[in-house]
Structures are given as structure tokens and as C-alpha cells.
Structure 1
């Protein structure tokens, strides 16, 4: 299963960097106007650190092992609490709220979503990245060569991880849970192809990286490919 430090090392690899580059491409937050951003469940604060170059960023991460390994090239505010911090934030406070790969691990998903919807401005952006069940099935069956795990995922839609039990929820459930008159405006697939090959040597070449990045961007809005992407934003 690996450790938190193993995971930190992984995000520095080309396939880890591409995940973040795709998020930045898809969110397309302008650098011309300084906005207030909340990164809830910031992990290693890689996304928070990136946006802190041009924006006011608050990174919320209660996991000490993760925030001790955080990126901190740029200045942002680190909050080592969780939902309790959200409850103290005024309504309509943030222009952008990020919640990436977090809701799979919380028991009170609806309550967290309610708080996130409350603190984002009515005209703001709530960005959620979530694991996609069909993408995880593809990864287990193809990359890991483990069809038994793929079958278990299809039957149980939950699995153990280094962060605890991971419950993969549907897009429909997310949309039904959104409140505060929010609506889904866009969705994209992430890691449709680049996580299905075990040939890591080629992934360190610039030719592979740039071509794969272009392919991922091209297919990220195509419904046929979104269905099997490892993540949905």
C-alpha cells in the first residue's frame, strides 16, 4: 500500500506532475485578478502553493505527516484543522473552493459539502476532484493485472487505502448533494490513459510527456473517455 512519504515521492514523478498540470489547465483560474482561494484537504499543499503565486490561498490540512512534507515556495496560510475551521468561516467568503480527492474519506460527506457550498461566493467556483469507479476498475485490471480487485471494486465500490477506507461515490450522488443553489457547470476526466501503462521509463521523456498531456486534454471533455478516467473533476 505504501507510505505517505512514498506518495509524496510519487507526485514528483512525471505521472504525478501531469495530474496537477491537468487540474490547472481545466480550472483555468486567471492570474490577472487576485482572488481568495480555499484548498480544503490540501494534502502536500502542491495546488495551494501553485495558486499562491498570484492569489490569496488558505490551505486546510489536518494530517501532520502530509503537511510536514508540503510544498511551500510561495506564501499561503496553513490551517491544521478540518471541518471545524469551515464552521468559523463567514458565508460567501471565498472566490474559489477546492476539494480534491477528499470526500471519499469522510463520513459526513453531505455536511462537508454543505459547508463548502456555504463559504463559496454565489458566482464563485467549487472544484471537486473525485475517484471514478470505472477508472479504478480499469487501473486494477490493466495496470495492476489484478482482475479480482477489479471485481471487488465493482461489487463493493469501496477499498482500503493509506488514508483509510475509500468510498467511491457517483457523480449523480454529488449533484444531488450540492446545495445553496449550486449547479454542475463543467466536468473533466483526469488520468484516462497515462496511468494504464507500467512502462515508467518512457514517461521520463519529454516527447511522451507532451504528447500524453495533449491527449489527456483532448479527451478530458469527451464523454466516452470520461467514463473510464481514473478521476473526475
Structure 2
């Protein structure tokens, strides 16, 4: 895993805007007990810690060492095994962003069931996942990789991430039985901004203008259907 490359992308305009949009989606979370599962460098945990009691769990020791907001939330290093120390119905809100792509396909349902177990009844799970249609658009337009786009369209859902290694797009609805979770809403992230040439993204006002556009279509089909990421709200 190229952790420093991943961190560089977070600081780039295309990384900054992802979190600007995501935080706009999450800004209503206040006075809650929050679990950020797969917290990475802790940007989301740090953001939510301003108004919530946040616990972050991350398996990568290098990301934990380089995290943001170290004094603002509690951090544990590990993964699924750590959830056993928490009782049923413990957290008000759970964050799980771009995590399940990188666990084995036969264990995804186990992860989701355990997250559902520790989520309070009436609580919400915020889940961000890759979207095959959006990835195909990115490959064909921005990266000019038509063969890879065709592979995605034909159902080849595996990919390699420079920062995070081997990933696989998955069907969220297929994982939901026996979790106690249902989908209440989903929004698109990166509908337009990933398709633009990077030269535009360094303009001083680009993040503000593009964020306004992205938020305007986040819940609108067909725009959200072709976004690179889908941001689901699951309820228990």
C-alpha cells in the first residue's frame, strides 16, 4: 500500500473536494456516539468529533500514525475483531467509507452484520462505495482507457488501487439480508468533477463552484446513477 501517495491525493484539489462534498452530507450529525470503521487518516473522524463522541478503527498502522486530529477522538488499531468488545445497539451512527471493496467477497456480509449488530435501533450507517457505471465513465473519458471501461461494463468488477491495493465493486443490496439494515437514501459523489481535466481543478474558485454543482445533483437521477461513488444511508 502506497500510503504517502494516498495522502498526497487527499491534499490535491480532487481529494479535497471529495471531503468537502462528503462533509456537506454529514453535517447534520450532532451529539451522537459515532464509530468510524476503516477511518484511514481520520479526516472524517476529525470532522465529526467537533460535535460528536467519535471512536475510529483502522487496521493500517501507517495511516493511524499519520492521521489528522489525533487529540480529537479515540483511535483503535485493528478491524472486525475489535467490534466484539462492544455490546449490541451501542453506536448512534456508524461510518464505513470505501472499506468493503478491500475485504474478501465472502466476508463482506459478516462485516455488515457485525456493524449492524453494534448500531442502535433507529441508528444510521453511512456507507460510501464505488459505483461500476461511474468508474466506467472515468476510465473512458478522463483516463482514455476504453478497454478497461469495456471490462467494467461487461461485469469485470475487480480493480487495482495505487494506494489501497486490490479492490472489487460489490452489490450492497445482496449483502443486506440478516443485517437488520435497510437502505433509506443514496447520493452520488463525483458525478462531474472526476471527468474534468486536472488543469481546471487548480483554479482558485474551482472547489466552490464544482461543489455547488455536485450537491445540486447528488440526489437526482440519472446524475447520481453515473457518479463514481454512491453514498448510502442505511437504517436499523
Q: Same fold (TM over 0.5)?
A: yes
Match of 2:18 in 1: 19
Match of 1:229 in 2: 227
Q: Give unmatched runs, 5+ long, in structure 2.
A: 232-236
Match of 1:160 in 2: 160
TM-score (norm 1): 0.91
Match of 2:111 in 1: 112
Contact residue 41 and residue 61 of structure 1 kept, 8 A = yes
Q: Given the alignment of the two structures, is residue 90 of structure 1 paired with residue 91 of structure 2, yes or no? A: no
Contact residue 159 and residue 165 of structure 1 kept, 8 A = yes
Pairs within 5 Å for 1:1-233: 3-31=2-30, 34-72=31-69, 74-107=71-104, 108-155=107-154, 156-161=156-161, 162-174=163-175, 176-177=176-177, 179-180=179-180, 182-198=181-197, 200-233=198-231
For 1:19 and 1:226, locate their aligned partners in 2 and report how far apart those are by CA, in whole Å: 15
Contact residue 132 and residue 152 of structure 2 kept, 8 A = yes
Shift of 1:29: 2.6
Deviations 1:150-181 (A, max 9, x none): 1222331111224232110134324x44622x
TM-score (norm 2): 0.90
Contact residue 19 and residue 191 of structure 1 kept, 8 A = yes
Shift of 1:73: 5.6
For 1:93 and 1:38, locate their aligned partners in 2 and report how far apart those are by CA, in whole Å: 10
Contact residue 113 and residue 178 of structure 1 kept, 8 A = no
Shift of 1:205: 2.6
The structure with the greater share of residues assigned to strand is 2
**RMSD between aligned alpha carbons?**
1.7
Contact residue 98 and residue 128 of structure 1 kept, 8 A = yes
1:11 to 1:178, Cα distance in 2 relative to 1, 3 A: farther
User: Larger deviation: 98-107 or 48-57?
Assistant: 48-57
For 1:56 and 1:195, locate their aligned partners in 2 and report how far apart those are by CA, in whole Å: 33
Shift of 1:68: 1.8
For 1:188 and 1:164, locate their aligned partners in 2 and report how far apart those are by CA, in whole Å: 25
For 1:185 and 1:136, locate their aligned partners in 2 and report how far apart those are by CA, in whole Å: 24
Q: Secondary structure at the match of 1:179?
A: coil
How many pairs does the alignment contain? 227
Contact residue 202 and residue 208 of structure 1 kept, 8 A = yes
User: Larger deviation: 62-71 or 95-104?
Assistant: 62-71
Deviations 1:72-123 (A, max 9, x none): 2651111101000012211111111000000111121000000101111111
For 2:152 and 2:62, locate their aligned partners in 1 and report how far apart those are by CA, in whole Å: 28
